[in-house]
Amino acid sequence: MRTYLLEIKYEFLKALRMPQYSLPTILFPIVFYVFFGVMFGQRNTGAIKMSEYLIATYGAFGVIGASLFGFGVSVAVERGQGWLEVKRTTPMPIAAYFAAKLAMAMVFSAIIVVLLMTVGATLGGVVLAPLEAIALFGVLIGGSITFCALGLALGFFCGPNSAAPLVNLIYLPLAFLSGLWVPITFLPKTVQAFAVWLPPYHFSQLALRVLGGSRGESVLMHIGAMLAAAIVFCAIAYAGYRRDEGKTYG
Amino acid sequence: MQMPAQFTRVTKRYGDIEALRGLDLTIRPGELVALLGANGAGKTTAVRALLGLSEPTSGEVRVFGSNPRDAQSRTRIAAMLQTARVPETLRVREHIDLFSSYYPHPRALAEVIEAAGLQGLERRKFGELSGGQQKRVLFAIALCGNPDLLVLDEPTAGLDVEARRALWKQIRAFVATGRSVLLTTHYLAEAEALATRVVVIHKGVVKAEGTSQEIKGNAATLEDAFIEMLEAS
């Protein structure tokens, strides 16, 4: 138990001492929300206003970023450094290592979501009912699990230097095509049809549903898609973890 | 009696490459065994198998009689790996604190600091240390769980003479307590200075073993004997 707590403690200290890496992850979605959600806030996106819609989708965007970077890039870097290998020679439960990164990603996600709601309430004129706010928070933080799994899969297959650009290359287009930057209904029909295959689309629809702004598709389908994606990403990550064992000779 | 480490006819194949071809090697209590070999001889593969980081293709590796992957084995063996880079923003004492928590009977922080010669550096961040000091931190996190077998994979690579001598002193102090070390090195003088027994491996099998005197034979230095041996094969 002490190991779990210490892993979490030092994971946080590492992040605090490297604000140049942790701050952009937090600020990126907030700044985007101010540009699009506040400036174009009064436009309608169907059932709800843009300023409401984008709280849900930039919330999803922020959570995905924190998960992908917190897991993907940091695992890739620590693998590349040989640091994970040193830890694997010890009796450390590997679960403690991942639990610390999961805790980290969730706290970052929580900070982003709370900041977004604050900016929404003060600048965007979006006042959520307490129950709505809690439900949205819960959906967004819960959904981070799928993207932590994706991050982990990337972390085991990316090199330490290529991880950050590669994660961006996946993260940004995925977010756009899933309707996280501008409402999905503003995108061409072909893109909308394609989005059903992207996990962030299902994530954002679940979040939008809390605010009454989803497209009204089945909740079970969204949850099923998120779970299926999480399982596939975990399987890929596990394959990468096993592959590490066969590597290097001399 | 259970040997700290035992390789029995261990082979390891990576695709077409056979890194180990039937390695037999035993490390006894209180011994410092230097494992020598050219690049590609199988040193790193042997080390990884001993640490349970990779599974042999055939044969058996035992650490105090158990599978190296067992949690029990991992509490008794610790390693200083050559490639390791450590998170740079954590302080020396924080690294030791974290690693100590992995073990059932860790050594006291002050004792580890002293054994690794890190006095006065406890609060420094890893990234602020010199190369020699960084190696000593890696040595400290290997020591902190109070292991009975220490694996040092080229521990002094890239260090200046002074830093190398300082680490030698700490390695000798560890062996003096009756525990065992497996050392791989490219510096044959290092093997000569530290090892109670030298094992030369070539193409994945043991080519020669004995005290450094025995390996040297009539050659002037261990290095000469080593080169002669490689040329003969």
Average pLDDT score, chain B = 91
For residue range B145-186, what is the model confidence (pLDDT) as tens digits?
Answer: 999 999 999 998 888 888 889 899 999 999 999 999 999 988
pLDDT value, residue A247: 61
Is the ipTM reported for this complex over the cut 0.85?
Answer: yes
Rounded to an integer, what distance in angstroms lies between the CA atom of residue A134 and that of residue A151? 26
Average pLDDT score, chain A = 92
Domain count, chain A: 1
Question: In Å, how far is B66's CA from the nearest CA of chain A?
Answer: 14
Mean pLDDT of A78-99: 91
Contacting residues of B for A92, CB less than 8 Å apart: 102
Contacting residues of B for A77, CB less than 8 Å apart: none
pLDDT value, residue A250: 35
- Flag whether A250 is in a domain: no
Rounded to an integer, what distance in angstroms lies between the CA atom of residue B78 and that of residue B146? 9
Domain B5-81+147-232 listed as CATH 3.40.1010.20: no
- Flag whether A167 is in a domain: yes
- Flag whether A125 is in a domain: yes
**Strand, coil or helix: A156:** helix
- Flag whether A164 is in a domain: yes
Is the model's pLDDT at B84 over the cut of 70? no
Q: Give the domain range for residue A23.
A: 2-245
Q: Which of A5, A89, A245 to mutate to test binding with chain B, by most B CBs within 10 Å of its CB?
A: A89
Mean pLDDT of A43-58: 89
pLDDT value, residue A234: 96
Q: Are A66 and A108 in contact (CB under 8 A)?
A: yes
Domain-wise residue ranges, chain B: 5-81+147-232
Question: Per the CB < 8 Å rule, is B42 touching A85?
Answer: no
Which of A100 and A46 is assigned the larger pLDDT? A100
The strand pairing partners of B78, in sequence order, are B150
Q: Got the DSSP string for B115-184?
A: HTT-TT-TTSBGGGS-HHHHHHHHHHHHHTT--SEEEEESTTTT--HHHHHHHHHHHHHHHHTT-EEEEE
pLDDT value, residue A249: 38
Place of tokens 């290095």: B223
Q: Residue A50 is encoded by which pair of tokens?
A: 């843009």
Which of A113 and B82 is assigned the larger pLDDT? A113
Instruction: Please give the backbone phi and psi of residue B22, each rounded to the nearest 5 degrees, phi first.
Output: 95, 55
Rounded to an integer, what distance in angstroms lies between the CA atom of residue B217 and that of residue B213? 6
Angle at B2 between CA A246 and CA B5, to 5 degrees: 30
Q: Are B61 and B50 in contact (CB under 8 A)?
A: yes
Nearest-by-Cβ selection for B44 from A6, A89, A250: A250
Mean pLDDT of B93-119: 94
Nearest to A103 by CA among A31, A210, A13: A13
